[in-house]
Structure 1
Amino acid sequence: MNVFFEESGSFKAGSVLSRQGDAFQVELPGGRRTKVRAKDVLIEFEKPAAGDLLEQADAAAQEIDLDFLWECAPAEEFAYTTLAGEYFGESYGPVERAALVLRLHGSPVYFRRKGRGQYQRAPEDQLKMALASLERKRQQALVQAGYEEELKAGKLPEALKDKALGLLTKPDKNTIEYKALEAAAAARGISMPRLMLECGGIATPRALHEARFLAEFFPHGTGFPGVEVSALPDDLPDAADHVQAFSIDDVTTTEIDDAFSIEHLADGRVRIGIHIAAPALGIKRGDTADTIARTRLSTVYMPGDKITMLPDDFVDAFTLKEGGMRPALSLYCIVNRETQEIVATETRAERVFVKNNLRHNTLDEVVTEETLAAGTGEYPHKDDIAVLWPFAQALFEKRQQARAGYGLRREVQRNTDYNFYVDGEHVSITPRRRGSPLDLIVAELAILANSTWGAFLNDHGVPGIYRSQRAFGAPTGPKRTRMQTNAAPHEGLGVAQYAWSTSPLRRYVDLVNQWQLLACVEHGVAAKLVAPFKPKDADLFAVVQGFDETYTAYADHQRRMEYFWCLRWLQQEMRGDGGREVRREFPATVVKDDLVRFEEVPLLMHVPALGVHARGTRLMMEVMSIDELTIEASVRMLRVLDAPVVTSGAEAEEETGEDEELIEAADDSAASEAEALAEAETAADSADVAEGEGGAQEGAEVQQSEQHATEPRA
């Protein structure tokens, strides 16, 4: 005897070897033996053989008309044997009965299982909806298959033209478009972005990199909602008539945050004014403009473009552009010109007349250490710059003495910076001298303002957002940089405290600190009672955490795009104007181990199997391939161009120190550059100390850089 039975949700047939009570010992066609309970047996039969029954029943089940079967079935619950008589009539055997069970069980849209061999047909309205859904899925599958075939053939389906970037950034993986793209890419053996690039779904790799960033941090676009600039306070005083401020910035800068003025006093003294744009006078905590700024937290910089923190109307209203009275928060320092010591300081909120916006590209070649020493050359604010230059040098030396007190080396000024000029898909990268007198003036006055105002907040008991760098734990341990709400030393800069306050148009932290500073100016000792952020305000801690994470993400994107444009420059050089390959060789210098720095562009690259070379060794590198989609390049060393003279001890460290510190500056300002330089060098010094004690922190010596673009993080 044979039995047809259900086991673990599937149907099987076998030969009965024995029976004990309600249990059968059954041998399956494959030879396996199993124990089957009588209640699981649906059909007992003699012929055909068990294996033949399953084969014949499967074929017969496919011939059963489901619609007719549903019509034959009663509305109430029924046993399959009842329906067998209705469908097959009187002439049916075990094959037909098994086929009916298989068909009923395999058609949940038409019939619902209610128990062993028991079923109930689906209500008519539900059946119609289910069948319509199945038809839709069938049609979608056909459409998906069509998309897939087009993509595999290198053609972009019409329906995907407006969805290409979305499918690669934040896609809905349940859509047929995504499934088709995924399947086509897998069939081609390439990534989805590369397939979309081949099909023309994305115009360039650059478009994809930018779209990914925008999808994560600006999902609703980079535009601003409509918001009006609030009126300035009626009692905001005007600075004295003789205050004629001027700024010093790059030619592309539109958010002009800082300007300077000089007033000559009696007894060989001068009053130096550091004037900072004051958007905090027109933005209040919690208003629409604040919400916008707090959402963005910073201006985003990248070669050839930027995304401002504040709407254009606010930038225009508060930037220190030349030719008018501008609202500013001013720090006045009375300085003894003979000793360059600061005698007194004062902070005021006022309107300041900005006479000129000076630009580095027109002055850097004119204002040099030599021309300042000789008093030669003609340029705007020559006498004022002559006053600021020795003062800035004195500030720098004072900071170096403080660094020495913390066990740090002197800062090493980098000689070269780079400007990126992007025109469509073409990039020009030009060197610019760093460490010029104008750079030093801007940097030192900004550091002075940030340090002085940090102390000003602390003296009034008003919380602010400080950037500190010091050793946590052992005094000789690694220096760690962090944001916090209480005053603490910044050992890398050599100052007792450092509160970001000089870039309120482009950094939210500076805007917050400006609110706090204005409260101190207006209310004095009562400031901590009326300041927007009170002591131990949990919201201030939230600002610090959110800013730190977002600022880091923006900097990562900036570095990624700088690396991209450096690779694009290499490709341009390799192709030449005619599009034919004209060169593959580029000089580079060894920084450390297998890390090399290209000489013509600010590009750092790890080169596997480079070999052992001393720092500073000049090599000729061959660029073998560049992949802009993954932002990767394959290079190899061809030959050694020049090996440095080997020195030893501190002298060698001093010679190679500049190559080790790779600067991470968030924008092109001299202040940001100086700050990043000091922090990077402090990290390097800390690593050297730790290494000497057997505990070097891997990676502390080499910092990622805006102006030396390293491979993007994964």
Structure 2
Amino acid sequence: MNLFFEESGDFKAGSVMSQAGEAYQVELASGKRSKVRVKDVLLQFATPDAASLMEQAKLVATEIDLEFLWEVAGQEEFGFAELGAEYFGHAPQAVEAAGLILALHTAPIYFYKKGRGRYKAAPEISLKAALAGIEKKKQQALIQASYVEHLKQHRLPEQLKALALQLLFKPDKNSIEYKAWAEACDALQTAPAQLMLECGGLASAKDFHLSKFLFESFPKGLAFPDVAIPALPDNLPVAEVQAFSIDDVTTTEIDDAFSVVRLADNQVRIGIHIAAPTLGIKRDDALDLMARARMSTVYMPGDKITMLPDALVETYTLGAGQTRPALSLYVTLDMQDWSVLSTETKVEAVPMAANLRHNDLDTLVTEENLANDAGEYPHKADIALIWQWALVLEQGRMAKREGFGLKPEQTNRVDFNFYVDDDVVSIVRRKRGAPLDKMVAELMIFANSTWGKFMADHGVPGIYRAQGGGSGGWAAKMQVRMVTHAAPHQGLGVDQYAWSTSPLRRYTDLVNQWQIIACVQNGVTAPLVAPFKPKDADLFAIVSAFEAAYSAYSDFQNNMERYWCLRWLQQENQRQVEAVVLKDEVLRLVEIPLIIRLAGMPSVARGAQVKLDILRWNELDLSVEARLLEMLTTVTDEGMEEEAEQVDGAETSTDTHGEAAEFETDAETQAETLAEESAEADSESESATGPDDTLSA
């Protein structure tokens, strides 16, 4: 005797070996023996043999007309034998009955299982919906297959063009478009971005990086809403100065300038003038909401995304030949020792005499020329006085920094400026700490520190950058944090540091300028009328949002600078290049700020120079492959060893995507970045060796 039975949701047939109570010992066609309970047996048959029955039953199942079978079944629950009699017109034989069971079991949209061998026909409305769903899936499968074939031929289907960025950056993984995309990438063994580039969905690798950033950080687009630009205030006193700014040639948001007035008794008054857009922007108005949404101007080689609309920037920027609103800090100095005799903060209109540019002055304003009073350039005498004070300011900061227990800063690292014109990149080396940079940096740091104290003395909160000043957590690691109260910035060597000198391009500075002006105009009552009151929760929200945006913008600029470094390699046809060892396997090219991690690099001293063979690179994932050609015996790049020290311990100043996050090209930010990195490196070094350890030669 043979049995047809159900086991674990599957149907099998075998010959009976023995029976014991309510169970059979059955041998399957494969030779395997199985214990089958009586209640699981659906058919007992003598012929054909078990293996033949299964083969013939499967054939019968494929020949059964499911639609006709569904019509025959009616709406009541039934057993398979009952339905078999109706469908076949006679009591079904073993092969027919087994075939019917298989057909019922494999058609769940037509028949619902109700028990062993018992079923019920699906309601008509449910069946139609299920059949429509199946047909839809069939059509989608055909469309998906068509997409895949197009993509494998590097042609982007029309329906995918509008979804190109979404497929790359935020895909719906249940959509047929994404499934087709993933299938094509697997078939071609290529990365999604590479396939999109080859199919024409991306214009270039640069387009990929920019589009990814905009998709994530500016999902609503870059356009500003239409809003009226406020008129310049006409009730401000006009300063009796002729101010001038010092910026890179690409700078359009000119928000800081200087003036020099010689006084009697060997005294001089130096003015630090900061553009005052806050006189036209009020908290929570349309312009404020725009600035707060962006938090900062975004910088990249050859382009930028401004925090404020161009029309407002043009209105408030400190352009040559214009008189513009400014927040001015006047510092009266004794020229014998350059000590500060007094400071005064004013809200006024400042006449701008000139916008000086690094590109025109860097070769003229050198330490040697300043020492010898050589060269001719605009505002030469004023620059000479500012230079003398800047040296004293730097010396004072370094003394205070050392008083905090930190090593002196190393300022002879090399910076790089990127200039892009019609997709042709120029990368220009500039030694950090050049006179013009130092002047701007020192005076801006002085202003930020002075105004930070000014707010604190008036009991008005602001946004400060702090580093160190404690015994645990952030402070112990010398990591920079943003706080809403005055706190030391040990890396810079100041007792407090409030970003206040870039209100056209940094939202924290805009907020602080509101607070400073409130102090100037209201004195002791400032805490009652300032836009942000003490412990204002919104101030903490601004700090959190700014840090997130600033980090994202920094990462983006790092990526874009690395992209342009790779473009430079292609443009200049550079394959064998010189590099300097920063630490272990991390190197930086000498001519451009491209960081390369060379696995298996022999152990050599930091600052040593090597020659590399650039094998290949990828402008999409920004990877570089290189091999070591030879060790060079001399170090030709001054300052490399000091730069290498900055990456000791944790790699705080470099990563595999480029140099430190100096995404604002002003001297103040560069000086600040160097001070913070140096302080972090000091902390890492001390934690690694211990303050009491001594190093032997």
Q: SS in structure 2 opposite 1:605?
A: strand
Aligned positions of 1:273-284 closer than 5 A: 273-284=271-282
CA distance in 1, matches of 2:639, 2:99: 88
Aligned positions of 1:196-275 closer than 5 A: 196-231=196-231, 236-240=235-239, 242-275=240-273
Superimposed CA distance per residue, residues 11-37 of structure 1 (whole angstroms, 9 cap, x where no aligned partner): 233334445555444444334444444
CA distance in 2, matches of 1:558, 1:660: 24
8 Å Cα contact 2:81/2:91 also seen in 1: no
User: Is 1:597 paired with 2:588?
Assistant: yes
Shift of 1:205: 1.9
Superimposed CA distance per residue, residues 566-585 of structure 1 (whole angstroms, 9 cap, x where no aligned partner): 121112222xxxxxxxx521
Q: Which moved more, 1:34-43 or 1:184-193?
A: 34-43
Which residue matches 1:689? 686
Which residue matches 1:419? 417
Shift of 1:190: 2.4
CA distance in 2, matches of 1:27, 1:655: 81
Which residue matches 1:364? 362
Structure 1 stretches lacking a partner, 5+ long: 575-582, 646-652, 697-714
Aligned positions of 1:575-654 closer than 5 A: 584-643=575-634
8 Å Cα contact 1:325/1:352 also seen in 2: yes
CA distance in 1, matches of 2:584, 2:38: 76
Q: SS in structure 2 opposite 1:327?
A: strand
The equivalent position to 1:666 in structure 2, one of 659, 663, 670, is: 663
Superimposed CA distance per residue, residues 72-102 of structure 1 (whole angstroms, 9 cap, x where no aligned partner): 2213333333322221111521222222222
Mark the CA change 1:655 to 1:311 in structure 2 (over 3 Å): closer, same or farther.
closer
Shift of 1:445: 1.0
Which residue matches 1:545? 544
**Counterpart amino acid of 1:188?**
L
Q: Name the count of aligned residue pairs.
A: 679
Shift of 1:39: 3.8
Q: SS in structure 2 opposite 1:224?
A: coil
Shift of 1:353: 2.0
User: Is 1:465 paired with 2:450?
Assistant: no
Which residue matches 2:531? 532
Shift of 1:239: 2.7
Mark the CA change 1:10 to 1:524 in structure 2 (over 3 Å): closer, same or farther.
farther
CA distance in 2, matches of 1:315, 1:495: 31
Which residue matches 2:432? 434
Structure 2 stretches lacking a partner, 5+ long: 647-652, 654-659
Which residue matches 1:578? none
CA distance in 2, matches of 1:413, 1:57: 87
Shift of 1:633: 1.3
TM-score (norm 2): 0.91
Aligned positions of 1:136-147 closer than 5 A: 136-147=136-147
CA distance in 2, matches of 1:243, 1:381: 13
**Counterpart amino acid of 2:439?**
I
CA distance in 2, matches of 1:288, 1:44: 84
Superimposed CA distance per residue, residues 389-415 of structure 1 (whole angstroms, 9 cap, x where no aligned partner): 111111111111111212223222235
Q: SS in structure 2 opposite 1:458?
A: helix
CA distance in 2, matches of 1:622, 1:232: 57
Shift of 1:672: 0.4
Which residue matches 2:305? 307
Mark the CA change 1:617 to 1:126 in structure 2 (over 3 Å): closer, same or farther.
same
Mark the CA change 1:285 to 1:474 in structure 2 (over 3 Å): closer, same or farther.
closer
Which residue matches 1:118? 118
TM-score (norm 1): 0.89
Question: Could you say what the CA RMSD is over the residues aligned between the two structures, in angstroms?
Answer: 2.6
Q: SS in structure 2 opposite 1:140?
A: helix
CA distance in 2, matches of 1:338, 1:439: 24
8 Å Cα contact 2:300/2:560 also seen in 1: yes
Q: Which moved more, 1:450-459 or 1:309-318?
A: 309-318
CA distance in 2, matches of 1:691, 1:562: 32
**Counterpart amino acid of 2:317?**
T
Percent identity of equivalent pairs: 55
CA distance in 2, matches of 1:168, 1:488: 44
Superimposed CA distance per residue, residues 547-574 of structure 1 (whole angstroms, 9 cap, x where no aligned partner): 2222112111211221121121112222
Which residue matches 1:700? none
Q: Which moved more, 1:28-37 or 1:471-480?
A: 471-480
CA distance in 1, matches of 2:201, 2:243: 51
CA distance in 2, matches of 1:74, 1:367: 99
**Counterpart amino acid of 2:581?**
V
Superimposed CA distance per residue, residues 367-393 of structure 1 (whole angstroms, 9 cap, x where no aligned partner): 222333333433322232222111111
CA distance in 1, matches of 2:233, 2:576: 61
8 Å Cα contact 2:413/2:643 also seen in 1: no
**Counterpart amino acid of 2:683?**
S
Which residue matches 1:710? none
CA distance in 2, matches of 1:78, 1:563: 72
8 Å Cα contact 1:616/1:643 also seen in 2: no
Shift of 1:655: 8.2
8 Å Cα contact 2:414/2:639 also seen in 1: no
8 Å Cα contact 1:460/1:527 also seen in 2: yes
Which residue matches 1:675? 672
Which residue matches 1:702? none
CA distance in 1, matches of 2:350, 2:84: 98
Which residue matches 2:98? 98
Shift of 1:459: 0.9
**Counterpart amino acid of 2:378?**
P
**Counterpart amino acid of 2:680?**
A
CA distance in 2, matches of 1:206, 1:558: 12
8 Å Cα contact 2:259/2:382 also seen in 1: yes
